[in-house]
Structure formats: structure tokens, C-alpha cells
Structure 1
Amino acid sequence: MQGVVIVAEDRLARRPGDYERFVEAITYQDGRVFADARGTKDLYSEDTESMGLFGAVISKMEVRKMQRRMRRSHRMRAEQGLPVGGTRPFGWKPDRLALDPQEAPLVRQAILDLIAGRSLYSITNQWRQEGVKTSLGNEWLPSSLKLTVQNPRVCGWREINGELVRDSTGNPVVGQWEPIVSPEQWMAVKNIFDARKGHFIYRDGRVGHILTPDFREPNYLLTGFLRCGRSKPDGSLCNASLRVTHSKDCIQHIYLCPTKTAGGCGGVGRRGDMVDLYISEAVLAKLEEVQLAASADPVEWSGKAEYEDAKSRLEELRVQWTAGNITNELFFSVAPDLEKRIARLRTEAQNFTAAAQRRQARSDTDITEIRRRWYLAEEDGGLPLTIKRSYIREALLAVIIYPSGKGRRKFNPDLLEPIWREG
């Protein structure tokens, strides 16, 4: 290398450290030439090196100014409810304000299906089969669908760095674009993904309060629900989770307790189609019983008065502090506790609203229609398997299958014990 010619100094280095490394590299050997748009420069001179280093500092300051201006502009547009640039969001027209008549209904139905218990994988598989593409023309993935339905834009809100943009009163800023779903429906979906870490039935028999929902499309209706009811020598139940297997002389799947080496006892097996049919009918009958309760008058959130009181107290504290009636020490010692309390209550309110939205989605569906679609194939309008499992999950904690004796026996539903949820 005999030298370097540049067109603009800010293209050479934007940080002082970069410029120092460049000078050390080019002056490692004598006689090399450096030139910019104004002519040649002697980098072997300390004065020239110092001027270049100063220019790099100025460039860095300009970059930071640009970044701050962009952040302020982004925040200002968000607070004004204006859409931002970038890739066109799926569901809206290129103006980012009006809804796309083909895409918006797909997003709305996907959110309603997720609330009802359908999995991301089931929805993306259906969209792929129907030829639905992203706004960039790519195939849909569960991860991309998750980003779409979790974006508060679908209900008319904005978020920056994972936080909702709020006005001076603490309420979310409503954007100027048309929403696809209601805020309650979006919060219901957000609550589903926030609650991924659910509880389950432990090996020692302890029962959690919430079973983890399906995030992948399952293959069998009762996987994870069935438990072995064979007694151990000490009188306790095996309680191992039954797995699915197949036999050469049986065209149906079989639910089977794993072998001892796999954590079970291997002593219980039952024909899968008969178990699925019996539990399906039991769950449908249970849904018919609770449908009237689900359609009853909604219950108000018990923390509403406390939430409003905390917000009023914080606002009054701010007014008094702004007017100079209270000291900085008093304000900054009291305000943080109130803000934490408000944040906690706001989260509780969102969880309550999400649960109510989920119950409403259940009650809006006629049990007769559920029963009709339960036994249809999915391609014929039947319920997706994940939605069936969500109904089972909300009705049942588990199903204990007791041994029927040696050899092949006639299916006996009395050897199946559903463990129903309370309430």
C-alpha cells in the first residue's frame, strides 16, 4: 500500500479510537501518502494527526446528536399517535392507517382463535396451506405470527422498547390508524404468552392451578392428561403420564404407561379412540352445565377502587410538588412507592380483563355448535385439535386410568376417573 485517498472525513472514522488505529497503520512505514478532497496531508506531522483526531471527535458528537434527534422524533410521533415508517405492518394498507380488507380479518380471527386456545403452529400451518404471505412476501412462521398478534398496534396502541406509550394521565396513547381488535382482546392474547410458565400435575400427585397451554400442534387429543392408576406395593398410584403407541393388530392408537426404565410401570394400556370418545362426551356435557354460569352478569374487578385512589393520590402529589407546597425530599420518598403500587394494580387489572375476555369468547360460542364441529375433520370445518384440548384443559385437571386386568377386555368407562376442575 502506497497511500489512502478519501472523499469525506466522516467516512474514514466516526470514533477517535478508529482514527488513531488508522494513523498507526498508515504511518507504520515511511513515505506513505494520505489525501482528502482538499488535497494531501502529512499524517507524519503531529499537528495534522491532532486535527484529524479532533475531526473524529466532532463526527462522533454529530452521530450522537442524530441518534438523539431520531429517538426524540420517534417518541414525539408515538405520543401524537402517528404511524412510523419501515415495513408495512400486516393487516394495513400502505398508508399504515386503513385496514387491508383481506389481511385484517385474518389477524382478527387469529387473535380470537388464540384466545379460544388454538396454537400458533396450527394457525400458521393453515395460512401456509391457504397461500397467505407476510407483508414482505415470505412464508409465515409461528415466531412472525407471535410478533404480529403481540404488537399493541392491533388494538390501536403503541409501544417503545417494550413499554406502552402513555399520556400524562397514564392511559395508553391511541393511534390514528384503524384497530383490528379491542384492547381487551389484545390484552387477552398478551396474557396468554405472559403465562407460558404454568403449573402442572406433579409426579407425587400435587396438582397445579393452571395447566400449560399448547404452543405446538399436538398429535393426540389427550396427551398429557392421562395418568396411570395402577397401585404400587406401598398403596400409592403410579401416576405416570401415559404415552401414545401403536400395535400391529390395532389400527387405533393406544395410550400406554411407560416402562419402569422410563419412569412408569408399564401396567396400564387402553385403546385411544374409545378413551378420546368417552372423555370428549364427558367434557361436552360439562360445558353444557357451565354455559349458563359463563353467560351470567360479569364480575367487577375488586381492585378498581384502590387503583383509582392510588392514581388520584399520585396526581395530587405531583400538583402539590409542582406548586412548591411540598419538598423534593417528601415527593421523591413517597412517589416511587405509589408508582410501584399503581404498576402492580395495572397489571392485575390487565390480567382480570384478559381472563374476562377469554370467558366471554367461550360464552359467545354455542355449545351445540361446539359439539357439531367436535367430531368433524378440520378440513371440513371441525375444531382444531388445540382448541379441543383447551376446552378439555379448562374442564379437567387429569384423567386417571385404572388397570382392567390381564389380557384383552371390553372397554369399561368405569375404569376412567376424570378429575374435574373446581368452580
Structure 2
Amino acid sequence: MDLIPVASYARTSQDSSQGDECGVRNQHRINERTAAEHGCIVVATYTDNARNATKDDRERPAFDHLLADLHRGHAFTAGPLMGVVAVADDRLYRRPEDLVRFMAALTANPGRVYVDRDGLRDPYSKEGILDAAGSLQGAVAEGQLRSRRVRDWHWSRAMDGLPHSGPRPFGWLEDRQTLHPVESALVRQAIEDRIAGKAVAEVAREWTALGITGTRGGRPNQQTITQIITSPRVCGFRANHGELMIDPTTEKPLAGSWQVIVTPEQWSKVCATFSAGSLYMHRGPLSPRLTRRKAGPKYLASGFLRCGAELSGGDPCGQPMGGTKTAHSRRSPYNYFCNGAAGRGCGRCAISGPLVEDAIERLLFPGDGRGRVRLPEPMRLRWQSGEMGFEEKRKVIASVFSGLEIRPGRKGNSTWDYSRVVPVWKWADRVPAPDAAA
């Protein structure tokens, strides 16, 4: 009997503390075993590591890619797909809209199967649909209960004046109560300097020159330093979910149990030197700014590019490249560049924004039709006609590439060199060796 080719999907909400993707690797291992036990074979893997499936503002590029492949009927070079295997339903969906999308993709062609550790499920039958709906109801209830417990736990800790859980805050020792003698002195000086008019970028350069790193090993930059010195923690105030906790007895801000770095007056003064969108209580990728809109990328390739300039040791720089406007070029009104400020990157690599985006389009939709990927023709038409929106294009890019390395250009070369854009394909075990945009 021929084995049924299926896709293995794995997802975790959080990675392990070692960042080794152990959870998703174990899920794929179980899926391989489950598939073999029920007459199936895994021909393609899709992984969303550290991706939440409960909140509607969280992206799952591998899940989106899986649905696209199911609609198309095959997984790039892996061949036909006749089903999906997962360790549990809640790995695939925890929201009604995701269940609808998954079932529509899975049943886009006849004869498909869904496999979990309980065996084969017929997604076309009434029983199969009821099983899926029951799993969804249980997942939603479990998620709501867990979220409420976590919120109550954090609120109770805040009302007791206890510090936040998680990594230790910069400026305090591991007990989160006692001041770190070196870091707290740096924070105090930075607050005093900022109140006196010093730029945060200058503070970042000074910290970098001293070899200071964050509590997770990162280099200091303007954003992290701004968050550190505007955090209410520096003056002893306790916050939760972006709001100061108020003592119900005194109706004043609730004081924590840790040692303080500056006075509340100094904290208020340093906060006054920033716009509301820069303050600790307003930071985060999903936080509202003054416009009440979520912050998002401005340029199409933002977040995907890494600097490929060679460092002195021979390794590539590897730092993210940001986008910025250029003043005097119609052909390249904006560039992507490696930021050398505050020691975050080498600062030796920049590339035209339209060149990068043209190269990405060539990689996704090669003219000869013989590229590394085979995306649906309607998708190509919508992309190239301008019908496809900015966010949808970014989702397509995220579903195909893990990133793109930008190699340094040659001085004096006025022609566009597409080979500078080197893709890092997702699911590299299913795709031939990477190649630059031709």
C-alpha cells in the first residue's frame, strides 16, 4: 500500500530558555512516528517556534505557508500533499477563524486526511468537523482560563510591591531588589545627563565604549537606554500593563520593595524630555503611539535583511539593516543600511531599497518559471499589478525566506547588482542550495 504524503506542523508559544527549539523538534519527531503508525509519510515540515496562536495580532508565517501549499496541492519541491499531521489540534488553531481557514485549505481537494496521535480523521465528515469544533472550544476555554490566571498573578505581585518576574532589570542584582553597584550608577548618571540636555545616542556611545551589555547580553542602544531611564522602577514605582499601580489607601503611586536609583521628581523630569511614544510605558511592538495606531514597518524588506559585510575575524556582521530616506536620488528614494551607531553594526553596508525589493520579486516570481519556489500564478498577478497590499506582501516574504543577506557593493558601480541579495530559504532541507537573485 502506498504511503499517504502529509505535512508535519509544529508550534510552540515560547521557546526554551536555551533557545534551542527543543519543543518544536520534539513535535516533529512525534509527528514522524504518528504518520508512520497510520500509513502516512511526512514529506514537508512547517514550524512556528515561539508563536502564539491565541491572540489575533500574532503572525504565524509557517501556518500561512502550510495553508497556501494545501490550497495549491503540493509543497514546493516536496511533491503532493494529501494531509496534515500534528500532535494536537491546538497546535494548529486556537481561534475560530484559524479553524475555518485550516479546514478550507485541508479540504480544498478530495481525499485529504488529518492525523493526530488518536489516528486518522476524515475532515469531510460531520464527525470530523464536530471533533475539530470540540477541540477548538476546549482550546479557547483553556486559553482564557490561563490568561486570567496569569493576569491575576501579575496584578497580585504588583499590589504587594514585588518586582516583575523574568530576566533581572538592568541596574539591579539577581534578587531584583538590591542595586547593582556599576549599572545603577550608570543609570543614575544617564538620567542626570539627559535632564541636563545630553542626547541618548551619546549615552549609548559612552556605554558601548565602556563595554557595557544588557542583562541578556545585547549592546546598548538608544531605545533600550530610553526604556531603562524612563521606567518607573528607577524611582520605586510599580507598574502593571503600562499603568502605574495606585495604593488604594493613599491614592498615590504604589511603591515597590526594591532599592531606588533616583527620586520620583527626577524620574518625572527625565520622562518629560521624551515624547509619549518613547516612554517606557508606551514601548513595545504592539503599543499605541500618539496616533493610537500600532507601530509597524515602513519599508517592505524591513526586518528581513542582515548585513553580510565581513568583519575582521572573517564572520559576516549579521546585524539587521534598517530603512531610511535618501535626499537626492529618484532611482533610490530610500536605502537599507547597517547601522554603525552605538556599536550595533559595522556601518559598512548599504543598498538601494528599490533594488532589494526588485530582487525579492525576482526570487519569488522568476521570469523563466524555474526558480527555487513555485508560487501560485494568481499571487504573482496580484503582486505585480499592485493589487496585493503591503502587509500581505510581507507575509508572502516571511513565508518563503528566513531572511536575506546583503553583500557589500563595489565603489563606483552604478549598475544594480542583484547578486548582492542572497536569500536564506525556509525549510532548507526541502529546497535546493541558496542562490542570489539573478
TM range (shorter): 0.3 to 0.5
With the length of structure 2 as denominator, give the TM-score of the two structures. 0.42
With the length of structure 1 as denominator, give the TM-score of the two structures. 0.43
Larger radius of gyration: 1
Give the structure with the higher percent helix.
1
